[in-house]
Structure 1
Amino acid sequence: MNSEYHDNFQSAQAVAGKKLDRAVQKSLFDRLNWVRNLHKYCVSDHQPVIFRSSEGEAEAWMYLMKTGIGKYEGLANWYNFTFRPVFTGDFDEVTKLALLAAIAKEARGSAHKITLSPMPEEDQSTSLTQRAFEQAGWIAFRSKADDNHVLAVKGRTFDSYWAERPGQLRNTVRRKAKKNLVSTRIENQFTEEHWKDYLHVYANSWKPEEGSPEFLKTLAKQESDAGCLRLGLAYIEGQPVAAQLWTVENGEALIHKLAHLEDATKSSPGTLLTAAMFQHVIDVDHVDLVDFGTGNDPYKRDWMDTVRTRYRLEMYWPNNPMAWFPILKQYLSGLVRRRTSH
C-alpha cells in the first residue's frame, strides 16, 4: 500500500492523469477540476493538501486544505452538494477501507484535526471514512451538517409528477400562466448576454451577495462546453425577472442557483421558471434524479419527495497534545446532548 500527498494541483494532476476527469468521475464534485476552480476563486488563501493512496490499480484521493496549524478541512464550500473521498480503478469495500486507512495514517504526520463536510451516506462514504480513520487510530465524531432534498423521478413523465405536487403549488402555476405575463427560456449554451441577465436577477434579488461570481461563470462555461448547462431565465416585457443555474449529467439534474426579483413576486416568475425547468429535465433530458443541493428551505418540500442527511466528520489524532482539549470538549458536548434528550 502506497500513500503520499500533494500541495499543488499540478503534481496531483500529473499523477492522476485523466482518472479524476469527467470521463471517469461521474459526479461533478469528485473531479480535480472542480476543486482546482474552487480553490482558485473561493479559498485561495488555504494551501491545498491532496492525499492519495494506491494498491495495484486501485486509488483513493482526498481533497483537503490547510486551515490552521495541524488543521485540515475538506476542500469544499457552500457550492458543494457533497464532499467525499474519490476512488479510481478496481476496488471493493474492503479495498476502499484499506485505501482510506492508508490516507489516515499518512495524515497523522502533519495533522491533528481533519473536518469533512457535507458528506453523503447513501453510498456509505461517511461510514467508510469514519471506520478507516478509527482503524488508523483517529478519534472520529459524526454530526449532522445539512439536509439534501432530492426527487427520484422513477420513470414518471412531468405530467404524472406534477399531478402529485401540492394543490396550492399547481394552482399558482395554473393561475399565473393564464395571465401570460411571464415568458421562460432554457439555454444549453453559455452566452455573455444570457449570463448578464442571470447576474442582473441575482444582484437585484433577495439573495445575499454571491460568494464568487467568477467561479459560477467558469462553471457555467465549462458545463456549457460539455453540453451539461441548463440556464433558466424568465422575463416580463423583455426584462429578466428570474434566473436559475442547473446542470444535467449522467441522469442527474443539479439545481445550483435560483433567484427572482422581489418586485416581480406577484407574477410568480420563479415558480413558473422552476416548473419549466422540471418539465425540461424530466421530459427532455429524461433524468432519474433531481438534486436541490443543501439547505432546508421550506419551499423545497413542494418540489421534492426525499430528504437525505449530509454529515460532518471531525477527526482527531489523539497522540498529538493539540487534540486533547478538543476531544474532551467533544465528549462533554455529547454527554450534554444525551442528558438533554432524555
Structure 2
Amino acid sequence: MATLYQQFSLAEFVKQYSAEIAQPRYYELSLPWLLASESYMLAEGADVIVHCLFKKSDNKDIILIAWPLVHRGQAISSLTSFYSTVTEPLFFSKEAQQKLPSLLQCITQQNQWQSLSLGPIDSTSLLAQALSNGQDNIGYRRLFAQSDNFYLNELSSFEQYYQQRPSQLKNTIKRKAKKLAKQHSYHIDIITQESDLAAAFIHYKSIYQQSWKADEYSFDFIDYVCRHAAQQGKLRLGLLFVDNIAVAAQIWFVQESAQVKVASIFKLAYIPQYQDYSVGSLLSMALSEHVLSCDKVNEIEFGMGSEAYKKDWLPKLRSRVTYQFFNAQTIYGNLLALRKVLLPKVKAYFLR
C-alpha cells in the first residue's frame, strides 16, 4: 500500500479532519485537550506540527494516523503538559495502528531534530512497542520518566465495586458521614451540564486556592477542558457543601470508545479545616457511585501518581513511560547521547 507523509498546523488539521477522528480512550487524548495544550501550555518559541500518514486509494488520500508534536528549535516532543497523564497519536482506524512505525520513520528522517521526547505512554501499548522495536532506526534511547497509573477495570456495578473495597475504607466513610451529618448539614452536587459549570467552577477555584496544593498554573486550561467536556457530556464535577459552603471538589471525565467506558479522575481538592470529616473520601465515593450507576463505566483510572491511598480505591497498577531519543546521525545528537545516555551508564558501572 502506497503511503504519503504530510504536515499540518493544528488549526489546519482540525479544520480538515476533526470530523473523521474516532472517540479516543481518554478525554485527554481528544482534540479539545490538545487545543487547550497548544493555547495555554506551549513554551515560548514552540510550534505544534501535526505529522500525518495517508494511504492512496482510488486517487484519494485517506488519512491513517495523525501525531501532534511540539517543535522547539531542534527538539521535538509530545503535545502534553503536567496536566497530561497519557498521550498517543490519533488513529483513524484500528488497522492504522500497524502503520505507526512508518510514521515514526517519516518523522525522524524528514525533520531536523537532535532530541525527541515521547510520552507519557502506556507501557504495554503499540506505541511503546514501536518505540522499543524501532529504536535502532531512531537513535539513542533512554527512559526519561516512569509513573504509576492506578486503575480498576471489568466493573459491572457500584455494588460490586463497593463490596471489594477494604473494610477500613468503608468503615471510615460510614463513620465520617455519620459524624458530618450529626454536626452539620451537607450535600453533594455533581455537575454535568455546561449551563451549571460557571458557578461550579467558581467554587472549584475557591476550594483549590484554600487547599494544601500549590498555586494552579492555569485555571484557563482547566476551564477550557471542562467546558468542552461538558458540551460533549463527558464532565463530572463533584462539589461537597457543608452548611452550604463548598469545601471539596473533584473533576472527573467520562469517555467511551470501542465498547469500553472509562472514568478518569483529573483533579481533587478540599479545604484542610474539613479534613477531619474525610470530605474528599465522601466525595470520591459519591462520584464512584455516579459513574458506575448512572454512566455505567467499565473502568475507573487515577491518572498518574504513586500515592498510597489510591490502592484502596483502585488496586490495579500499570506504568506509563516517557522515552527520550537522541539523533545518531548528527554530531550534536551524539554529544547529547554521550551526556544523557552513555556517561550515566559508565558512572553506574564504576559505582557498583
The letter for the 2-side match of 1:122 is T
| CA deviation after TM superposition for structure 1 residue 206, in Å | 0.6
- 1:164-192, Cα deviation, whole Å (9 max, x unpaired): 22222111101011131442121211322
CA RMSD of aligned residues (A): 2.1
Aligned partner of 1:333 in structure 2 is 344
Instruction: Give the 5 Å matches for 1:167-206.
Output: 167-179=167-179, 180=181, 181=184, 182-190=186-194, 191=196, 192-206=198-212
1:140-167 deviation per Cα after TM superposition (whole angstroms, max 9, x unaligned): 2235421111111432x22232222222
The residue aligned with 1:268 is 278
Report the CA distance shift for 1:24/1:230 in structure 2 as closer, same or farther (over 3 A). closer
AA aligned to 2:268 is: L
Give the aligned partner of residue 225 of structure 1: 231
The TM-score, its normalising length taken from structure 1, stands at 0.90
Please list, as runs of the form range in 1=range in 2, the aligned pairs for 1:46-125 lying within 5 A after superposition: 46-56=46-56, 57-67=62-72, 69-89=73-93, 91=95, 94-107=98-111, 110-125=112-127
Report which stretch shifted further, 161-170 or 258-267: 161-170
The answer to whether residue 321 in structure 2 is matched with residue 311 in structure 1 is: yes
Q: Give the aligned partner of residue 43 of structure 1.
A: 42
Work out the CA distance in 1 between the residues paired with 2:120 and 2:36. Answer: 18
**3-state SS of paired residue (2:88):** coil
Contact 2:64–2:96 under 8 Å retained in 1 = no
Query: Secondary structure of 2:175's match?
Result: helix
Across the two proteins, how many residue pairs are aligned to each other?
A: 333
How far off its partner does 1:73 sit?
A: 1.4
What corresponds to 1:216 in structure 2? 222
Rounded Cα–Cα distance in structure 2 between residues aligned with 1:230 and 1:105: 43
Question: 1:334 and 1:29, CA in 2 relative to 1: closer, same or farther beyond 3 A?
Answer: farther
- Aligned residue type for 2:166: P
Number of the residue aligned with 2:131 = 129
Please tell me whether the aligned partners of residues 40 and 221 of structure 2 are also in contact (alpha carbons under 8 angstroms): yes
User: Which residue number corresponds to residue 150 of structure 2?
Assistant: 149
SS at the partner of 2:99? helix
Post-superposition offset of 1:338: 6.0
CA contact (8 A) 1:59 1:88 kept: yes
Give the residue type in structure 2 aligned to 1:229: L
Per-residue deviation, 1:31: 2.8
Match in the other structure for 2:11: 10
How far did 1:24 drift? 4.3
Q: CA distance change for structure 1 residues 162 and 25 in 2, over 3 Å: closer, same or farther?
A: closer
Distance in 2 between residues matched to 1:280 and 1:90, nearest whole Å: 31
Q: Distance in 1 between matches of 2:36 and 2:148?
A: 25
Cα drift, residue 224 of structure 1: 0.9
Give the whole-Å Cα distance in 1 for the aligned partners of 2:76 and 2:95. Answer: 26
Secondary structure of the residue that 2:20 maps to in structure 1? coil
Secondary structure of the structure 1 residue equivalent to 2:35: helix
Shift of 1:294: 0.9
Whether the 8 Å contact between 2:10 and 2:49 is mirrored in structure 1 is: no
Question: Do 2:189 and 2:240's aligned partners in 1 also have CA atoms closer than 8 Å?
Answer: yes
CA distance in 2 between partners of 1:185 and 1:175 (Å): 21
Instruction: Indicate the larger mover: 163-172 or 205-214.
Output: 163-172
- Once the two structures are aligned, what percentage of the paired residues are identical? 23
Aligned-partner residue type, residue 49 of structure 2: V
CA separation of 1:274 and 1:123: change in aligned 2, threshold 3 A: same
List per-residue Cα deviations over 1:252-280 (Å, max 9, x = no partner). Answer: 00111010000111111111000101111
Q: Could you tell me whether the CA contact under 8 Å between 1:117 and 1:145 is conserved in 2?
A: no
Paired with 2:32 and 2:134, the residues of 1 have a C-alpha distance of 26
**Counterpart residue number, 2:59:** none
**SS at structure 2 position matched to 1:84:** coil
Residues of 2 paired with 1:63 and 1:296: CA distance?
Answer: 28
Partners of 1:33 and 1:106 in 2: CA distance: 28
Aligned partners of 1:35 and 1:75 also within 8 Å: yes
Query: Structure 1 residue 52: deviation in Å?
Result: 1.7
SS of the aligned residue for 1:293 comes to coil
How far the C-alpha of 1:82 sits from its partner, in A, is: 0.5
Q: Secondary structure at the match of 2:86?
A: coil
**SS of 1:281 mapped into structure 2:** helix
In the alignment, residue 164 of structure 2 is paired with which amino acid? E
Question: Which structure 1 segments of 5+ residues have no match?
Answer: none
1:99 CA displacement = 2.9
Q: Is the 8 A contact 2:247 2:270 kept in 1?
A: yes
Q: 1:49 to 1:174 in 2, by over 3 A?
A: same
SS in 2 for 1:275: helix
Higher mean alpha-carbon deviation, 44-53 vs 75-84, is at 44-53
Between 160-169 and 233-242, the greater mean CA deviation after superposition: 160-169
Task: Please tell me whether the aligned partners of residues 52 and 103 of structure 1 are also in contact (alpha carbons under 8 angstroms).
Answer: no
Alpha carbons 1:51, 1:103 under 8 Å: kept: yes
**Matched letter for residue 242 of structure 1:** A
Q: TM-score normalized by structure 2?
A: 0.87
Structure 2 spans left out of the alignment, 5+ residues = 57-61
**Cα 1:338–1:49 shift into 2, 3 Å:** farther
